[in-house]
């Protein structure tokens, strides 16, 4: 029943009416108790009773206002605060830097910091209201934190294209936003899970081989593992030194396909909000990971020879140019070898093109086994390869050429009952013994030397005549 828009105004009116009615009825009530009506049904007695009723109503009103009003003030302040609370939080959280955001991820701290919790000091409806308000404020703050985390996460994803830095930053942020002590991110490559970023987790292989990971990948659904106490021993070697109790395995899905998996491990239970937060963050991660993987594949396509996996001619030429510039700048030698498989047409004609392809792959494998880190192998043409040897003088080039020649010659390639023998001819040159201003000239000289090696009977290395004079070639 409401008369006005204010509860205490209503109460004052009702108390007034109530006092007046009590005062009016009281003289008649007194006659029922045997008091002669001449005494009580008089105007002064009526006035006295009504006055007493109004005073009682007034006192009631005063007490109600004191007892209930003081509590209602809390709620009215809350009500006033409520309107600005969301805005205050939003501003506070958005202005927070990454470190402050980490602190805020503990809900209590956030609400403490923002002053958004009110004291619960009774078990009545007011206490319930205050509890409900605190819950509401907490939920609101957590939602805003998740939004802030998603914003920061998306910004990070937008700045990374290469898979490894992307995965590393993503897993660090995810650990931060979920209070995890360890985490890893693995992607599916050729049907196998490959780890691209890992923190704290020690035995990655055991983790990736676990049924939880398989289930997450196959079903596309989050797996939450609450480790029983006795499982600690089993997982101690798996999840580093921390006393891990909870593990989340989350598939990274893009267009219904599992691209990989996130594993996060924590000492405290992951609550629903954190699980929800991960599910939001991984949506953007799926898209970013897909872009990154596609970018990586495109780059491989643009730089790699699909058959042998070494650089293709275009990219090899670019790398040679870079190494040449570096050598000129650093005044250091640069060796170049061009080699070609001997009588490869005969191999193709005898065994077929598929075996010819296997020979090419085998030659690359053998050559790679003798190259040093930093040497660059490129498929220059059909069965012709370019080797760039940074820091190699003519003597080094000749020695490396011999090592390459022997590695190919010693290669064991068995086809059915026959073993295929492969030899190569090489032409080598080194800058600045051959002082050139452009790297193309090095290739031309190496090609001429290779031509001479072919003409001289194959299976040998010829060095550029204008550079290194004494030849090391020997035909064994």
Residues 287-316 within binding reach of ligand GTP (CB under 6 A):
307
Q: How many amino acids of this chain bind ligand GTP (CB under 6 A)?
A: 15
Report in angstroms how near the CB of residue 338 gets to ligand GTP at its nearest.
12
For position 341 contacting ligand GTP by CB under 6 A, the verdict is yes
Which one of 345, 406, 421, 469 is in contact with ligand GTP (CB under 6 A)? 345
391: left (phi over 0), alpha (psi -120 to 50) or beta: left
For position 423 contacting ligand GTP by CB under 6 A, the verdict is no
Q: Do residues 385 and 361 touch, judged by C-beta distance below 8 A?
A: no
* Contact window for ligand GTP (CB under 6 A) among 6-14, 167-175, 284-292, 338-346: 338-346
Report in angstroms how near the CB of residue 317 gets to ligand GTP at its nearest.
18
Which one of 344, 380, 385, 468 is in contact with ligand GTP (CB under 6 A)? 344
Residue 461: which of 410, 411, 395 has the closest Cα? 395
Binding mask 356-395 for ligand GTP (x = CB under 6 A): xx--x---------------------xx------------
Reduce the secondary structure of 84-131 to three states and give it as a string: HHHHHHHHHHHHCCHHHHHHHCCHHHHHHHHCCCCCCCCCCHHHHHHH
For position 447 contacting ligand GTP by CB under 6 A, the verdict is no
Considering the complex, state which of residue 41 and residue 355 has its C-beta at the smaller distance from ligand GTP: 355
Any bridge partners for residue 189, and if so which? 192
* Contact window for ligand GTP (CB under 6 A) among 155-163, 184-192, 245-253, 351-359: 351-359
Q: Which two tokens stand for residue 48?
A: 């006295």
Burial-class residue 68 by CB neighbours within 10 Å (0-12, 13-18, 19+).
middle
* Contact window for ligand GTP (CB under 6 A) among 57-65, 187-195, 342-350, 426-434: 342-350
Distance CA 274, CA 280 (A): 10
Helices (H) and strands (E) counted in the chain, each on its own, are: 16, 12
Q: Does 432 sit behind a cis peptide bond, omega within 30 degrees of 0 on the bond before it?
A: yes
For position 340 contacting ligand GTP by CB under 6 A, the verdict is yes
Report in angstroms how near the CB of residue 455 gets to ligand GTP at its nearest.
9
Distance CA 305, CA 30 (A): 114
For position 342 contacting ligand GTP by CB under 6 A, the verdict is yes
Q: Where does 178-312 have alpha helices with state H?
A: 204-209, 211-219, 231-236, 272-303
Considering the complex, state which of residue 232 and residue 357 has its C-beta at the smaller distance from ligand GTP: 357
Contact residues toward ligand GTP (CB under 6 A) are 307, 340-345, 348, 353, 356-357, 360, 382-383, 454
């Amino acid at each position: 029943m409401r008369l006005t828009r204010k509860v205490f105004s209503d109460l004052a009116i009702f108390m007034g009416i109530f006092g007046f009615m009590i005062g009016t009825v009281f003289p008649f009530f007194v006659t029922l108790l045997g008091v002669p009506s001449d005494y009580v049904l008089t105007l002064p007695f009526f006035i006295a009773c009504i006055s007493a009723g109004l005073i009682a109503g007034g006192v009631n009103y005063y007490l109600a206002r004191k007892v209930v009003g003081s509590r209602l003030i809390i709620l009215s302040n809350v009500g006033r605060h409520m309107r600005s609370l969301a805005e205050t939080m939003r501003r506070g959280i958005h202005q927070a830097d990454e470190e402050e955001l980490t602190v805020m991820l503990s809900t209590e701290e956030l609400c403490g910091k923002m002053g958004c919790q009110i004291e619960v000091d009774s078990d009545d409806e007011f206490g319930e209201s205050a509890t409900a308000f605190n819950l509401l404020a907490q939920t609101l703050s957590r939602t805003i934190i998740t939004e802030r985390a998603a914003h920061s996460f998306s910004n990070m994803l937008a700045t990374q294209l290469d898979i490894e830095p992307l995965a590393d930053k993503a897993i660090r942020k995810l650990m931060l936003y979920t209070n995890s002590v360890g985490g890893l991110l693995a992607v599916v490559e050729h049907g196998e899970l490959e780890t691209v970023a890992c923190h704290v987790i020690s035995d990655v292989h055991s983790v990736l081989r676990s049924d939880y990971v398989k289930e997450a990948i196959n079903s596309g659904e989050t797996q939450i593992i609450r480790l029983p106490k006795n499982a600690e021993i089993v997982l101690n070697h798996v999840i580093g030194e921390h006393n891990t109790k909870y593990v989340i395995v989350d598939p990274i899905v893009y267009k219904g396909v599992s691209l990989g998996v996130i594993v996060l491990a924590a000492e405290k239970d992951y609550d629903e909000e954190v699980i929800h937060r991960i599910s939001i963050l991984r949506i953007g991660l799926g898209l970013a990971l897909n872009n990154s993987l596609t970018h990586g594949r495109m780059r491989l396509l643009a730089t790699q020879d699909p058959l042998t996996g070494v650089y293709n001619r275009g990219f090899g030429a670019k790398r040679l140019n870079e190494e040449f510039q570096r050598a000129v700048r650093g005044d250091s030698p640069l060796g170049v070898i061009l080699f070609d498989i001997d009588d490869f047409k005969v191999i193709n004609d005898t065994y077929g093109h598929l075996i010819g392809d296997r020979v090419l792959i085998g030659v690359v494998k053998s050559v790679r086994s003798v190259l040093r880190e930093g040497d660059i192998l490129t498929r220059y043409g059909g069965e012709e390869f370019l080797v760039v040897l940074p820091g190699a003088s003519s003597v080094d080039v000749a020695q490396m050429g011999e090592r390459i020649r022997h590695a190919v010659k010693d290669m064991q390639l068995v086809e059915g009952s026959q073993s295929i023998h492969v030899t190569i001819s090489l032409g080598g040159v080194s800058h600045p013994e051959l002082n050139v201003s452009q790297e193309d000239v090095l290739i031309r000289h190496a090609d001429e030397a290779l031509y001479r090696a072919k003409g001289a009977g194959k299976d040998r290395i010829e060095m550029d005549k204008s550079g290194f004079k004494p030849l090391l070639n020997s035909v064994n």
